[in-house]
Structure 1
Amino acid sequence: MKRLRWLPFALYVLVLAPALVARPAQTESPRPVIDAAFDDVVARYHLPGLAVGVVEDGKVTYVRTTGERIAGSGEPIDADTLFKVASNTKSMTTALLARLVDQGKLRWDDPVTRHLPQFRMHDDWVTREMQVRDLLVHNSGLRAGAGDLMLWPEPNDFTRADIIRGLAYLKPVYSFRSRYAYDNLLYIVAGEVAAAAGGAPYETLLRREVFQPLGMARCQIGAWNRAEVGNVAQPHMRQGERNVPVRADSDAIPASTMDPAGGVRCSLNDMLRWMQAWLRTEPAQSPWLSRDQRRALWLPQMPMPLSDRQRAWDDSHFSAYGYGWRLADVDGVFKVAHTGTLMGMYSAVTLLPDRNVGFVILANGEADDARTVLTEVLVKHFTAPAQRRTVAHYADELDRERAALPATRRPPDTSARRPAEVASMRRWLGVYRDPWFGEVALCASLERVRFASRKSPMLAGVVQRVGERWLVDWDDDSVDTEAWLDFAGTDGAVSLTMAKVDPEADFSYDYEDLAFKRTGACP
């Protein structure tokens, strides 16, 4: 098997680069346009809280917040309120690694096993060939979101050692380095590589190498105390006409297994400092990271599919993943960006280096569409202001896209469900085991059949019958992706597989990667 080369796509970008010509900087004040978009998105999507900030030419030119940290509490969100930035953590993890490269403690092309001898992928050749850079660019060959059930929903009992052990059992669905498929588990591995090379826990290194030198004083990672830190937004989900807090923090917030992939919390002010650090391109302006490593992080490493929406909305010609950043062109302007999504928390960071502009969006509610349309309005304000497209324009476009989805991509009607009878499922009852996810029990309880995971306690619920199929109705409403249960085999050798009921649901509910075998009877 030949090792794939990185050079051709880099050459493609070098050929394309002359087309990404910097245009004159935006001179009109952003406030009227952004104020209008801010108001419109809050009104249309009924967000519990929102924070938006803009940096232009190194200066903060816009800061605005609205709403409450907890709906109905009367506690206002301000520029120092902490939000979960979710996968915007990834660019902080890669910045930490870049700092270690600058210090000579690490190389991007180091084999992962040089730092973590216990690391294994399903294929021995991939194990030997996987470099530190491969952990960061979503080219592993695994299905998108593979193994994410070891990370979410939280809290759960999976450790980073479990993640590293479990990777050996996740079967690839593509060839290594052949295509892009978003991954979280390998960022957990990257955090452990940083810890091994840096000689300290990941959380300690991130504070020392990223937060402290950049003055991101309120950012939190690892274990901390909410009461002592104060001013922390909580996630919400929409129920009817209300925003309802979900998965609220206790006072003592523990370190999380998923920290290197999505565990950072920062305020709007912190994220504005983060963007200012990236928009200072000269070493004299920002000695925190060398010019070589800045370039490395923004060098396209893995081509990404270019969607119809990117072509239609942005006139985009390329899309790629760097080290913890998504790279694309919008109206001939280079864009460096990432989003972050956790239950009830959404973030977006967008940099337009050609314009010396960046902006950040933080929300503590269900804000997928809100983030998409607000990001687009703000990008277009700086790349194609003459278009004057509004929140309503892009929101209506999303609604039309959704209405045009084929029936195979829409959630099936499960309204005729009823609790499964114990007698009808008796041949399938028992304790099952998957090699990376561990044990689940499918057992009778008070005339119902319950599914319960041993290491992920939020994955528990009552089995329902829908026609000739079974699904799990999770007890906790914040676990918002139900699963089909499919059984096969005889009494002596029974297997269980699962699949998302909604084919368009978040890929982190990677039920499709599970392959359970029955190991015993119900206790």
Structure 2
Amino acid sequence: MKKIMTAILCLIGTGLFAQGTTDPRLKGLDTLVKRILKDWYAPGVSIAVVEKNKVVYAGGFGFRDLEKKLPVTGNTLFAIGSCTKAFTASLLGMLEKEGKLELDKPATQYLPELGFHNEYLNNHVTLRDMMTHRTGLPRHDMSWYGSSASRMELLKRIKYQEPSKELRQSFQYNNFMFLAQGMVAEKLTGKSWEQNIRERILQPLEMSTTNFSVKDMEKSADRSPAFTVKKDSIISVIPYRNIDAIGPAGSINSSANDMAKWLITWINGGKYKGKEIIPAGYVSQAISQQMALDGGGLPPALHPDIHMEAYGLGWFLSSYRGHYRVEHGGGIDGFITSTGFFPTDSIGIFVVSSNGNVTALVRNYIADRMLKLPNRNWNQLQLDARAKGRAAAAATKKTNSDSLLRKSNAKALHAKADYAGKYENPGYGTATVKLERDTLWLDYNSGGKQTSYLEHYHFDVYKVRDMENPDDNATRIKFNTNYGGEIESFDVALEQGVKEIVFRREAPAMEISKAELQKYLGEYQLPGILANVYLRGENTLMLLVPGQPDYELVPVKKDLFKIKALEGFNIQFDLNDKGEVTSMNAIQPNGVFKAPKK
């Protein structure tokens, strides 16, 4: 990871800025952006401003490469994150016009592979519910973020993800629902989501630089790296986050020049150069309130003229200083984007940078200028808010309640090696705990990098610590012990409003030959029942208890097997000095039952 000490003022002062726009409303934009980049330690920003059918400005300020001092241009590629959602939702609007689907029909009717947590949701969640984030499911983002799971694998996790609200009760942002929409389009058209978007939107709009993956983005000479800021003085280049699997929710990369065409299309009711690209009927629905949001974004006492928030179809709707605004943000590692337009004013604005404050401030300043609104010092307001936030964070750190919760001198209940293993949750995938250098490491969606280690808290509770960003309020995980005294799972709070996510430990793979399994075969006398252990196929040990289904026995340790279909049930065989099996112990939650071999 490259670290470059910021001399932002010096870098900006080199004059490598895009030329100013000729529109008098944006006079002095370069000076304004220069100040914002300096105050918020951002290397560069890309901007597009459109009005009716005209591009007022499309270009950039600052640098896409700090070392080589390469400037941001109108064609510089940036990840637009969740601004992708309007593209995916528009695709479904096109398919509806073609008669291939109805937005108010159950989604599972079009995508049988999709399943929800219960049958009621399976039968009642519509495509419109998914498009408006009102399915009752919270984000569950930790399931996909950083995961190597495929698109289909992620889709199949949805059925195991617990809702936190009733259907249509509340707005709850959910990326999985847009993944599913993309897969609906794939199912109905026989083409990938990417191919659909390219053929139906990008090509007609002449969006020639836009692509769908950071793999393609890396091939471009004119692209921005992903940046992060540390300690307000160090800009670091970080790796691109590959989110191809969840692509319909946020994987598009684009430029100011291309996004200007996208905005012009929306301002003109779905038409580009006089030709309808997005159905007019769908456009009307998309920018109309479909779902109310709970509460507002900014404090009304501070911003009384910014109010009303709702969600359309792939767009947030709000009132901005008395003007009707349609907008969506996007955020993925190193990029923060805003794409929006004012339908009644026919003005559109696209801004992307590596810093969320830069994106929002530049967007608001441009909106105020284009709408001829009274000047408001957005930058100073945000600087003041940052200072207050830091003061509050410092005070919170001093009064951290962590020490009040922790039981002092409460040692771990197991040796470190006992916690190691693979743990799985069907809705969240696999987590691996490893013991290396006398330290427990947690690998979950890290691609094997193991950046998190486990710090003992008390008893069987550990804190998940990050090597680069230690946090006193770090996530805790609680390991659970079965009746046999072995670690069988861990609980972790990954999503608010639902029960803790339980990752169950996978039995380590153990190879046993057919010859070795032979010694376990035979009949065993349980109280009043004669059980039978037999082989199915070459090397699968089975247990038959009269009146019950046949159970597969999975080897865990020498002479110890777990019953695959019954959590917490194990079979331990006893051997004599000659190595002959003499009895079988059925280890169950309600006790241990010995069955002599007949």
TM-score by length of 2: 0.72
Paired with 2:421 and 2:145, the residues of 1 have a C-alpha distance of 24
CA offset at residue 423 of structure 1?
6.5
CA contact (8 A) 2:270 2:278 kept: no
Question: Conserved in 1, the CA contact under 8 Å of 2:157 and 2:426?
Answer: yes
Q: Equivalent of 2:491, from 497, 505, 514?
A: 497
Aligned equivalents of 2:468 and 2:240: distance in 1?
A: 13
Change (3 A) 1:327 1:314: farther
Q: Work out which of the residue numbers 465, 472, 476 in structure 1 matches 2:464.
A: 472
1:150 aligns with 143
Structure 1 residue 30 and structure 2 residue 20: aligned?
Answer: no
Relative to structure 2, which stretch is displaced further, 256-265 or 56-65?
A: 56-65
The match for 1:178 among 149, 158, 169 is 169
Q: What is the SS of the residue equivalent to 1:520? A: coil
Trace 1:217-228 onto structure 2 (pairs within 5 A).
Answer: 217-222=208-213, 225-226=216-217, 228=219
Q: Which residue pairs with 2:374 in the alignment?
A: 386
Structure 1 residues 379 and 165 mapped into 2: Cα distance closer, same or farther (>3 Å)?
same
Distance 1:132 1:351, change over 3 A: same
Shift of 1:307: 2.3
Higher strand share: 2
Distance 1:309 1:293 in 2: 29
Question: Shift of the alpha carbon at 1:496?
Answer: 1.3
1:454/1:246 CA distance change after superposition, 3 Å = closer
CA distance in 1, matches of 2:28, 2:373: 10
Aligned counterparts, 1:112-261, within 5 A: 112-143=107-138, 145-146=139-140, 148-153=141-146, 156-222=147-213, 225-226=216-217, 228-240=219-231, 241-248=233-240, 256-261=244-249
Are the equivalent residues in 2 in contact too, given 1:489–1:495 (CA < 8 A)? yes
Change (3 A) 1:227 1:323: closer
CA distance in 1, matches of 2:169, 2:365: 34
CA contact under 8 A between 2:47 and 2:350: conserved in structure 1?
A: yes
Of residues 96, 100, 111, the one that matches 2:95 is 100
Q: Given the alignment, which residue of 356, 360, 380 partners 1:372?
A: 360
Kindly state the Cα deviation for residue 392 of structure 1 after the two structures are TM-superposed.
Answer: 1.8
Query: Is the Cα–Cα contact under 8 Å of residues 213 and 244 in structure 2 kept in the other structure?
Result: yes
When residues 356 and 152 of structure 1 are mapped into structure 2, their CA distance, relative to the original with a 3 A threshold, is same
Mean Cα displacement is larger for which, 228-237 or 162-171? 228-237
Q: How does 1:77-96 map to 2 (within 5 A)?
A: 77-96=72-91
- Structure 1 residue identity aligned to 2:74: A
Is contact 2:162-2:498 (8 Å) kept?
A: no
The AA in structure 2 aligned to 1:192 is M
Distance apart, 1:443 and its partner CA? 3.0
1:344 pairs with 334, 354, 357, which one? 334
How far has the Cα of 1:405 moved from its partner?
A: 7.0
Among 276, 279, 284, the residue aligned to 1:287: 276
Selected match of 1:72 from 67, 84, 100 = 67
Percent sequence identity over aligned pairs: 21
- Partner of 1:338, secondary structure, is strand
For residues 479-514 of structure 1, the C-alpha deviation after alignment (integer angstroms, 9 at most, x for no partner) is 9x95322234442464312247xxxxxx7x999763
1:420-499 residue pairs with structure 2 within 5 A? 425=416, 428-453=419-444, 456-458=447-449, 460-465=451-456, 470-474=462-466, 483-490=475-482, 491-492=485-486, 494-499=488-493
Assess, with a 3 A threshold, how the Cα gap between structure 1 residues 392 and 41 changes in structure 2: closer, same or farther. Answer: same
Q: 1:385 to 1:58 in 2, by over 3 A?
A: same
Q: 1:95 offset after TM fit, Å? A: 1.4
CA distance 1:28–1:516, shift in 2 (3 Å): same
CA 1:411–1:385: 2 relative to 1, 3 Å = farther
CA separation in 2, counterparts of 1:163 and 1:177? 23
Q: Name the structure, 1 or 2, with higher relative contact order (CA <8 Å, separation 6+).
A: 1
Instruction: Find the aligned partners of 2:412 and 2:43 in 1 and give their Cα distance.
Output: 40
Matched AA of 1:347: T
Shift of 1:61: 1.7
Shift of 1:458: 4.8
Q: Is the 8 A contact 1:339 1:349 kept in 2?
A: yes
- Number of paired residues? 477
Residue identity matched to 2:328: H
| Structure 1 match to 2:566 | none
The 5-angstrom pairing of residues 265-304 of structure 1 reads 265-281=253-269, 285-304=274-293
Structure-2 change in CA distance of 1:410 and 1:28 (3 Å):
farther
Counterpart in the other structure of 2:54: 59
Provide the C-alpha distance between the structure 2 equivalents of 1:211 and 1:110, rounded to a whole number of angstroms.
Answer: 28
Maintained 8 Å contact 1:235/1:246: yes
Cα distance between partner residues in 2 of 1:255 and 1:42: 28
After TM superposition, give the deviation of residue 97 of structure 1 in Å: 1.4
Please, which of 106, 119, 125 is the counterpart of residue 111 of structure 1?
A: 106
Query: What TM-score, normalized to structure 1?
Result: 0.81
CA–CA separation in structure 2 for the residues paired with 1:136 and 1:489: 42
SS of the aligned residue for 2:202 comes to: helix
**Residue of structure 2 aligned with 1:353, choices 337, 343, 349:** 343
Q: Kindly state the Cα deviation for residue 133 of structure 1 after the two structures are TM-superposed.
A: 1.2
The residue number in structure 2 matching 1:18 is: none
- Indicate the structure (1 or 2) with the bigger Cα radius of gyration: 2
* Alignment-mate amino acid for residue 67 of structure 1: G
SS state at 2:384 partner:
helix
CA gap of 1:228–1:173, structure 2 versus 1, over 3 A, is closer
Q: What secondary structure, in the 3-state scheme, does the structure 2 residue paired with 1:213 have? A: coil
Residue 342 of structure 1, CA deviation: 0.4
CA contact (8 A) 2:84 2:248 kept: yes
Task: Give 1:40 shift.
Answer: 2.1
Aligned-partner Cα distance in 2 for 1:101–1:513:
39
Measure, in 2, the Cα distance between the counterparts of 1:476 and 1:152: 19
Tell me what 2:317 maps to. 327
SS at match of 2:101: coil
5+ residue gaps, structure 1: 1-26, 501-506
| Superposition deviation, residue 411 in structure 1 | 11
Cα deviation for residue 289 of structure 1 reads 2.2
> CA distance change for structure 1 residues 112 and 456 in 2, over 3 Å: closer, same or farther?
farther
The alpha carbon displacement at 1:261 in A equals 0.5
The residue number in structure 2 matching 1:8 is none
Tell me how far apart the structure 2 counterparts of residues 29 and 353 of structure 1 sit (CA, whole Å). Answer: 22
Structure-2 separation of matches of 1:454 and 1:75: 33
Flag structure 2 segments of 5+ consecutive residues without an equivalent.
Answer: 1-21, 511-598
Equivalents in 1 of 2:254, 2:449: separation in Å? Answer: 26
Q: Please tell me whether the aligned partners of residues 214 and 240 of structure 2 are also in contact (alpha carbons under 8 angstroms).
A: no
